């Protein structure tokens, strides 16, 4: 029983990081209909930014979180302006272009940081309940992910920008006819999604270290979580991240990581077979 509870707690940690990373994909893939193969690289850039801000510049973790969001958000906006903007309604070209961008970013980081770099734990220590150990940082990640989810929902549903984004999502042509500058909406939205990816890299860095391939493993997981939950549903993403994160962690604890991935992929395939639109559906443009 103690082993099961420990795996359950570790699963919450993985699910929380997966939730933050996938929220960025909900915005870019779900709302903007852009298949961004460089999403994993944005996670990696968030980790690299965390290393520079915390270990080189010695900034506190709170400022590093904000800095990672701003840095990757700016990179995302530049990417949208110079690359994505010219490829809307061209899904094949978008996949190829963002995949090429992912390789470029990865190799640039590999040149500078060939090996894994360590980031100190911002909240060391843990408390114990019987034989179960719960790190303080795991609790922080869980609370932080729920806070980011809540703020993102409020931002997209209650603000003027969010309402304009909803209009663009439903009908780009009509929205433009109403005088709304959709190019600005696209740029800021893509930047926000990239910023969330960077934040997930920042919170991931103290637990796994920072390397050029740290985001590549999360690319598949984020797309899978997004599709299972519903590509435009934040609620579905929260539920699917919990299912996938907990399922993989608990299964790996009793079997191994390889079998955990196989079992989770099989469950996802069956689920998509009967629910191709995901757990929560929403009408798309």
pLDDT at 280: 73
Give the separation between CA 256 and CA 122, rounded to whole angstroms: 29
> Which residue, 183, 164, 166, 148, is CA-closest to 23?
148
Nearest to 246 by CA among 2, 44, 15: 15
Is there a domain that residue 78 lies in? yes
Asked whether residue 221 is assigned to any structural domain, the reply reads no
State which residues of the chain have pLDDT below 70.
1-4, 115, 281-285
Contacts of 244 (CB under 8 A, 6+ apart): 15, 18, 221, 224, 225, 228, 264, 268
| Residue 130, token pair as written in the block | 């019987």
Given this model, what pLDDT does residue 2 score?
57
pLDDT score for 275 = 80
Please give the pLDDT value at position 78: 94
What residues pair up with 133 in beta bridges, in sequence order?
128
Full domain range(s) for residue 36: 14-213
The pLDDT score that the predictor gives to residue 7 is 75
Asked if residue 138 is part of any domain, the answer here is yes
Number of domains in the chain: 1
Q: Give domain status of residue 283, yes or no.
A: no
State residue 283's pLDDT score. Answer: 47
Query: What distances in angstroms separate CA 200 from CA 98, 115, 171, one per listed residue?
Result: 19, 20, 31
Per-residue model confidence (pLDDT) at position 162: 79
Phi/psi at 210 (5° precision): -120, 125
Domain membership of residue 87 (yes or no) is yes
What's the pLDDT score for residue 285? 43
Q: Among all chains, which residue has been given the structure tokens 């435009």? A: 232
pTM: 0.88
- Say how many Å lie between the first and final Cα of the chain, rounded: 48
Is 271 part of any domain?
no
226 inside domain:
no
Task: Let me know if residue 238 belongs to a domain.
Answer: no
User: 68-84: b or e for each residue (b if 16 or more CB lie within 10 Å)?
Assistant: bbebbbebbbebbeeeb
């Amino acid at each position: 029983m103690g082993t099961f509870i420990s795996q359950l707690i570790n699963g919450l940690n993985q699910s929380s990081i997966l939730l933050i990373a996938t929220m960025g994909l909900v915005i870019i893939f779900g709302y903007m209909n852009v298949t961004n193969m460089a999403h994993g690289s944005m996670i990696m850039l968030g980790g690299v930014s965390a290393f520079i801000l915390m270990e080189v510049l010695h900034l506190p973790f709170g400022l590093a979180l904000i800095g990672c969001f701003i840095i990757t958000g700016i990179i995302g906006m530049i990417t949208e302006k110079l690359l994505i903007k010219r490829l809307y309604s061209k899904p094949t070209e978008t996949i190829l272009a963002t995949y090429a961008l992912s390789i470029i970013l990865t190799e640039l980081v590999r040149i500078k940081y060939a090996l894994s770099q360590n980031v100190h734990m911002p909240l060391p220590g843990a408390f114990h309940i019987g034989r179960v150990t719960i790190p303080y940082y795991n609790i922080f990640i869980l609370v932080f992910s729920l806070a980011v989810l809540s703020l993102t929902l409020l931002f997209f549903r209650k603000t003027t920008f969010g309402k304009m984004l909803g209009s663009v999502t439903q009908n780009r042509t009509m929205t433009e006819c109403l005088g709304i500058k959709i190019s600005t909406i696209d740029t800021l939205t893509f930047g926000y999604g990239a910023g969330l990816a960077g934040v997930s890299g920042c919170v991931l860095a103290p637990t796994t270290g920072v390397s050029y391939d740290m985001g590549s493993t999360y690319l598949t997981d984020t797309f899978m979580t997004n599709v299972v939950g519903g590509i435009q549903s934040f609620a579905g993403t929260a539920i699917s991240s919990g299912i996938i994160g907990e399922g993989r962690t608990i299964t790996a604890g009793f079997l191994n990581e390889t079998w955990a991935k196989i079992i989770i992929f099989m469950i996802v395939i069956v689920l998509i077979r009967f629910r191709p639109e995901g757990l929560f559906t929403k009408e798309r443009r």
